[in-house]
Amino acid sequence: LALYFHSGEREEKCIIEDVPSDTLVIGNYKVQRWDIHKQDFLESAPGLGMFVTVTTPSAEVLLSKLYGPQGTFSFTSYLSGEHVICLQSNSTRFVSFAGSKLRIHLDIRVGEHFLDESVVQAKDKVNEVNFRLEHLIEQIQHISKEQNYEREREEKFRKTSEETNSNILWWAVVQTLILISIGIWQIKSLRDFFISKKLV
């Protein structure tokens, strides 16, 4: 696990993943806690776990589970859109005293297009190429799903732009009409007023 970042003990860190529907998202993480005495991150902290919460674009909770200090979680999106993956430790310390922090290693993979090298130990030539081809087909399917998703979003974008366009036109017309009618009303009203006051 390569990339890591620091977080407060009770802080919640969230990652946003914008995925099309029916996509498998796999994440694995490792969390370490800072030890004051050793001035280093402990390799494994007993009792330390992470709450993993996954929220769908419609604000529903898809996954909410407590995992240990090291774990793998996965979920399949059934809606397309922005899913929020949040990690929060189950630390029960109410006061996070100075120097207490967590180191979280994280790796998130979207779509199943990653190679599982252990399966490819087959000596059989044909099977190896077969496996590679299957992997490529998965990649292509994922790309195709992403493109469909992109088409949906572009449609939404285009609708918004067209709505803005017609809004502007509509309001401009309405305001011009209001302007003209108010102008006429003003002149009439003032003329009647001056006539009644015998000024004209």
For residue 78, state whether it binds other proteins (rule: CB under 8 A).
no
Per CB under 8 A, contacts with other proteins among 129-148 are 129, 132-133, 136, 139-140, 142-143, 146-147
Alpha-carbon distance of 129 to 122, in angstroms, equals 10
Query: For residues 9 and 101, is the Cβ–Cβ distance under 8 A?
Result: yes
| Selected range binding other proteins among 28-36, 51-59, 70-78, 150-158, rule: CB under 8 A | 150-158
Minimum separation from the CB atom of position 195 to other proteins (A):
11
The residue from 36, 66, 115, 180 that contacts other proteins (CB under 8 A) is 115
The residue from 63, 68, 108, 112 that contacts other proteins (CB under 8 A) is 108
Alpha-carbon distance of 143 to 141, in angstroms, equals 5
- AA identity, residue 140: I
Specify burial of residue 83 (Cβ count, 10 A radius: 0-12, 13-18, 19+). Answer: buried
* Cα–chain center distance at 171: 35
Query: For residues 48 and 35, is the Cβ–Cβ distance under 8 A?
Result: no
The residues that touch other proteins, with contacts defined as CB under 8 A, are 2-6, 13-18, 106-108, 113, 115, 117, 120, 128-129, 132-133, 136, 139-140, 142-143, 146-147, 150, 153-154, 156-157, 160-161, 163-164, 167-168, 171, 174-175, 178-179, 182-183, 185-186, 189-190, 193-194, 197-199
